[in-house]
Chains A and B, each alone.
Chain A
Amino acid sequence: MPMSRRALAAAVTALVLPLSACGSGGGGGSTDASGKVEGDITFQTWNLRANFKDYFDGLIGDFEKKYPGTHVKWVDQPAEGYADKISADAAGGTLPDVVNVSPDLVAPLARAGLAMDLDKAAAKYKGEYLPGAWAGHQVPGMTGTYAFPWYLNTGPLFYNKALFEKAGLDPEKPPKTYGELFADALRMADESGGRVATLANIPTIEDFGRYGASLMDKAGTGFTFNDAKGVELLTRYKQLYDAKALDARALNATPESAGKEFLTQAVAMNPGSALDLDNFKKQAPSLYKNIGITDQITNTGHVNMYVMGLMVNSRTRHTPAAVAFAHYVTDAEHQMSFAKKVAIFPSTAGSLDDPYFTEEDGTDETRVRVAAAKSLKSAVNYTPVLFSDQMKTALRNEVGKALQGRQSPKAALDNAVRACDRLLKQQG
């Protein structure tokens, strides 16, 4: 019998052993970043290796040289499923020490106590960044700032000049406001007999913001995008959908499928990033010849700003090294050098006044850069920090029903707000 008990114990141990990996990894670190900068840390970026491997290898090499005794392991994750990857790492206790995040990703991590409060750990660096950018990673209902601001972008809007010309529109005067966009889109659909749509995406929360709808109440306790402006925007989109000015597949489009529609010249306008230009050049040379670049459509005078940040894992075992590295990557010097490699904009104070962002040399590239830097000064991050993936789905589904005519725009937005408010309450 003693042997069988031992056997039972062995079996139980064998059963339980793999489960021990399922817990979150304890060993919490401290917010005291004043110690010696040393130790091995892991740095995770968001789809940057393919284009910027040399830049990051150099950056990490310089950091390790500046702080002997440190070793930075760089991991890069693909764009698709990035939130799921972070989520799995966070739940499994394997979250890297320094993580590339956006404000909506940092909010649940901060609530779970996994993001370090930089107002405590790195308060001395606060003045180096634009005040709005530093505040970009604050979470409603919590005190503190949970990521270093990294680069900013507005994301250009691409349009197909040839399709504009074919529809009798001036290719040098793309729409700037939603009113102009709707007029041009209806004309494009009319002239092409419904074969060419202008847009491939249904309106998102950022569209409601840029149209002038109020997104959340001031206390951050409830959504308000079902106001008169919101209903007006959805009503206009319904007209576009009926006139085939909004692509038929928009209801279940993904950014990738919408990009493909634009690439095949079935759609006349699509938002994108500077990286897309290279893609157009390689995959669709005929489109590239006719590509037009303009600012985001807005009625408020403010374009949407995308903010990237670097979060420090609160459970890091090397707080001084992790904080020092996150600051090193995001300081003015390195943000500036990164901005010269790709069309992004630094979030550090004064950097946007650099001649690189204020002086044109006559080329299209500098014209776009200077215009984008100018618009960034008044840009707004329209994505509410607490707007989760589940809320995006709820809004998307209700908008879809309205476009199909299964419910009025007002009813659709009322339902979406109700669903989002319920999810917000459940988030706690």
Chain B
Amino acid sequence: MATSTAPRTHASRPGRPPERRRAIRIRRQLPTSPWLFAAPGLVITGGFILYPFVSTVINAFTDRRTLLPGRFVGLANFRELLHDDMFWIGLRNSVLYVVGVVPALVLLPLLLALLVQKNIPGITFFRSAFYTPVVASIVVVGLIWVWLLDERGLVNSLLETIGVGKVGFLSDQWLLLLSAMAVTVWKGLGYYMIIYLAALANVPRELHEAAAVDGAGPVRRLCTVTVPAIRSTMVLVAALSSVSAFKVFSEVYLLASPSGGPAGEDTTLVMLVQRTGTGLTGRVGYASAISLVVFAVTVVLMLLVLRADRREEP
């Protein structure tokens, strides 16, 4: 309102035609300009986020296939989900992934950040080394881990050498899931470490000094000074890692193969979306219904993490 009334006041003054003309021009341009500035963002948001989302919601209530238009089927897709064993397997694995990966990704990068936080000679090398997996291609990382964990891979050769015998990292459904979790944690450590490093830099040094004067040791200082000071960062890490863990695809897909491990028992929800909704006979409607469930669970996860954060606030 302020922007639209100001030019009008100037324009109404008599005897200043050039200014008046300019004011009219500005007034005419004003409503257009913001839209034009926002247009690229709106186009991208609309085309690549809003439209696919709305389209997914609509498709979830149809029996649309890849090449055939769908009919409205109401809640039929969601009813089918309840009786689909693969959906429950996918949900179980995705939830297990969150349970297994999130605590590790909240705590281990913090410890790593504390280790590399100190300014000692050569520490930059370690910071870079810990961050390297983050920039590595997930496909390359997946292939390397497959070579390592294969029945005839490096890890099993070592285990055989020391007399433990072969372990079916990639043929046992639970070990396979654990192996995929290990890859996710290994690859994510560096990313969350950087976030923690930024947070640790903002923890007042005086607090540590005061605690040290009061006789607190390193562990006590970590628990009573560092952790409370960076709690909101830990919540952020928990939120980010739980959302990405629930939506895990690449690690399991690469280690377990597109079939989702032995008898498909390592399939995650996003893998199920991919398997169900793609290909020439893909069931786009049903896959959209699964996607909506993934979206709903993700939102709930975020809300839970934020609620936990709020509850802990003094």
Contact = CB atoms under 8 A, between A and B. Distances in A.
Category for how many chain B residues contact A: 35 or more
Contacts of A371: none
Given A91-B67, A108-B280, A252 B39 contact: no
A257 interface: yes
B275 A7 contact: no
Contacts of A404: 262-263
Contacts of A390: 275-276, 279, 281-283
A19 interface: yes
B260 to A, nearest CB: 8
Interface of A: 1, 3-4, 6-8, 10-11, 14-15, 17-19, 83-84, 86-87, 90-91, 105, 108-109, 111-112, 114, 248-249, 251-254, 257, 264, 266, 388-390, 393, 396-401, 403-404, 406, 423, 426-428
B308 interface: no
Given A83-B280, A393-B259, A400-B264, A7 B68 contact: no
Contacts of A17: 43
A19 B275 CA distance: 25
Nearest to B262: A251
B263 A406 contact: yes
Contacts of A14: 39, 42-43, 46
Interface of B: 28-29, 31-32, 35-36, 38-39, 42-43, 46-47, 51, 63, 65-68, 86, 150-152, 168, 170-171, 176, 256-265, 275-276, 278-283
Nearest to A84: B278
Contacts of B39: 10-11, 14
Question: Is chain B's interface secondary structure helix, strand, loop, or mixed overall?
Answer: loop
B55 to A, nearest CB: 8
A252 B171 contact: yes
B168 to A, nearest CB: 6
Contact of B282 (A87, A105, A254, A401): A87
A227 B86 CA distance: 25
Q: Which of B63, B67, B280 has the most CB of A within 10 A?
A: B280
Contacts of B275: 389-390, 393
21 contacts: A1-B31, A4-B31, A11-B39, A15-B42, A19-B47, A19-B51, A87-B66, A87-B280, A90-B66, A105-B280, A108-B65, A108-B67, A111-B68, A248-B151, A252-B170, A252-B176, A252-B260, A264-B152, A389-B280, A397-B259, A428-B68
Contacts of B66: 87, 90-91, 108
B147 to A, nearest CB: 10
B31 A83 contact: no
